Structure formats: C-alpha cells, structure tokens
Amino acid sequence: MGKVKLRFIVSNISSNWQKKIGSQRDWVWRGWQTRYTYVRCQSNYETREGQNLQNPPILLLHGFGASIGHWRQNINVLSQKHTVYALDLLGFGASEKAIANYNTSFWVEQVYEFWQAFIQVPVILVGNSIGSLISLVATGTYKDMVAGLIMISLPDPAAQAEVIPSWCLPTVELIQNIVASPLLLRGLFFILRRSSIIRRWVKLAYSNPDIITEELVGILAGPPRDKGAARAFCILFKIMGSTKLGPSVKAILPSLELPMLLIWGKQDLLIPPKFANPSQFSQLNPRLEFIELDNAGHCAHDECPEIVNRLILDWVVKQKYQFINLTRSNV
C-alpha cells in the first residue's frame, strides 16, 4: 500500500510539473544533448502549424544559472494564445555541461538551429538576463526567425569598458583572469552549488524574499550536480565577466526594424537601473517600448508573473498588424 501511494504521489507531482512547463524533449545539437519543452496553443488562435500571423509562437530563453523551469509561471498562461517553446541553453539546465567556446554568438547558433529544426515560422523571442542578450543578437543576425522581441533585464557586455578608463582595462582583465583560474573556480563551484548558499545569493535577483521557495531553489540547485558541471562553470564564469561575451547592445539596437519590448525591475540589484540607465535604449530605437516595474528585481517574469504575462499578451495584441507585415516580408 505504501509503494502504491508513493507511486501516486510521484505521478501526481510529475503531472503537475508537466502542466507548468509542458512536454520536455531531448534534442542532439552538434553532438551535444540539449533539452527543450513546448506547449501547443490551447485555443484556436493558431493554426495547427502555428502559422497564425497575429499570434506567432513564443520562444523563451532563460538567464545565467537558470533553465526551462524558471518559466514555470509563464508557459501555461502564454500558451492560452500561443504555442510556446522553451530551451535549455547548452551548459545550463538539463542540457549537457559541455566543454565549449561559450559566448552569445555560440548560443545564438543553438537557438537558430533549434528554430530551423522545430518551428520554421517567425517567433516572438522572450529572454531574461543573458537570454535577453542572446535574443537581441539572434534578432540582429537572423531576421527571418523573429517577429517580435521581448527582453526582461538586458546586460550589455560593453558597459564595463564604458565605465572603466582604457588604461585600467589590462589591469582589470588580469585580476579577472586570476580570479577565474580553474583551481579557484572549482573550489568556489562546490561551495556555491549548495542549496543553502544558492538560497542566499538568489536574493540578489529578487526584491521579495518570499518568492524564493524550495521549488525555485531546487530548479537552480539541480543542474550544478550534473556530470561535467564544474568544468562548464569555470568556462561560463570566465566569459560572463568579459567583454568577449557578446557585442555591444548599442551597436545592435539602432538597426533593428521590428517591435521590441524591454521590461526592467526597479529593484534589480544584478543590473541596477540606476547604473544601466535602460531608458537610453528606447532612445536608440523608436520601435523599442520600455516598461519599468516596481517591486520587481532581476527576474520579473518569476517574481511578478501575473503582471509580466499580461504585459506580454497585451503587447502582442497591440503589435499584431506589424507581425503580419513582418512575417509576410520574411516569407
């Protein structure tokens, strides 16, 4: 009786998790195992092929250290009007912790080849943090893939170079290389992956500590225990603090000719709006709409999902005629 009850509980948990994040699948990309999920549109807004021009599919890209599970409060709601896909970037989540030359362009290729394999119609790219930067670069690189772009906090790799005098950069890079030495990072990794430590540092990403649940900690604590995670962490940590991560946001934004939405939490401590000055980005391109949210940190989609989900769905409705024109021009 006890075993039967346990199976029922496990099955129920699995069923509830699938309702939140959809049907997970594995996909081999360039020899590496990666994970993705999808939920078909729950209404008749889309055709069977997902080609309704007013409601393009949505592709979600997570931030550093996160995964598909970080969208658990968004996928089901967004799928009421859109087919929704989410991807674990290589090195994160349930995707392989590979030894690779990680940078924004590398992940852009993963996203584009995933789109070619499974979607093949223009999508709305939605990213958080590094996922926003990847979405931005992907939009500038593969215009046929993207109908609209939504970014939730946006790191700019060039920001460090802009605030640090040029004569100081060699010294700063030397210090970064010392701190990012594999020996030091491996020791740091085994400390940081502890659930108790994760619970502490994740407070930097959330303005409301009550949001940091056991479920959230579990989502973040699981992948670092995968095979090869320590080696991948050393590579990822080093590139994240470097201008080699990706191109300047300011170099890409002015050239984009599609609807864009930038959402930023006022209480974001990882990329504080006071220093990032996100309103400057809307001045670089009139197609970019900027919204600042109160009582939200770095992960607004997870901290205030009801607000962000509604913002996304309402914004899509406002842009529907632009989506139609853009999609037709890409065909």
Strands 288-293 and 146-152 turn out to be unpaired
Q: How would you classify residue 47: left for phi > 0, otherwise alpha for psi between -120 and 50, otherwise beta?
A: beta
Tens of pLDDT, residue by residue over 242-255, are 778 999 999 999 99
Please report, for residues 9, 91, 114, 142, 300, the alpha-carbon distance to residue 28 in angstroms, rounded to integers and kept in the order given: 32, 13, 10, 21, 31
Contact present, 130 and 240 (Cβ < 8 Å)? yes
- Alpha carbon distance 251, 202 (integer Å): 31
pLDDT at 243: 78
| DSSP structure string for 184-250 | HHHHHHHHHTSHHHHHHHGGGG-S-GGG--HHHHHHHHSGGGSTTHHHHHHHHHHHHTSGGGS--HH
Contact present, 223 and 67 (Cβ < 8 Å)? yes
pLDDT at 194: 79
For residue 132, what is the enclosing H or E element?
A: helix 130-141
pLDDT at 7: 40
Please report, for residues 4, 55, 117, 331, the alpha-carbon distance to residue 52 in angstroms, rounded to integers and kept in the order given: 45, 6, 19, 13
Mean pLDDT by 10 residues, the chain (331 residues): 40 69 95 97 60 80 95 96 97 96 96 97 96 97 96 87 45 45 54 76 91 92 87 83 86 95 96 90 94 96 98 92 61 53
Q: 3-state class of 251 per DSSP?
A: helix
Domain assignments of the chain as residue spans, ordered by start:
119-155, 163-247
Nearest to 264 by CA among 252, 248, 280: 280
pLDDT at 167: 38
pLDDT at 54: 67
Q: What is the pTM of this model?
A: 0.87
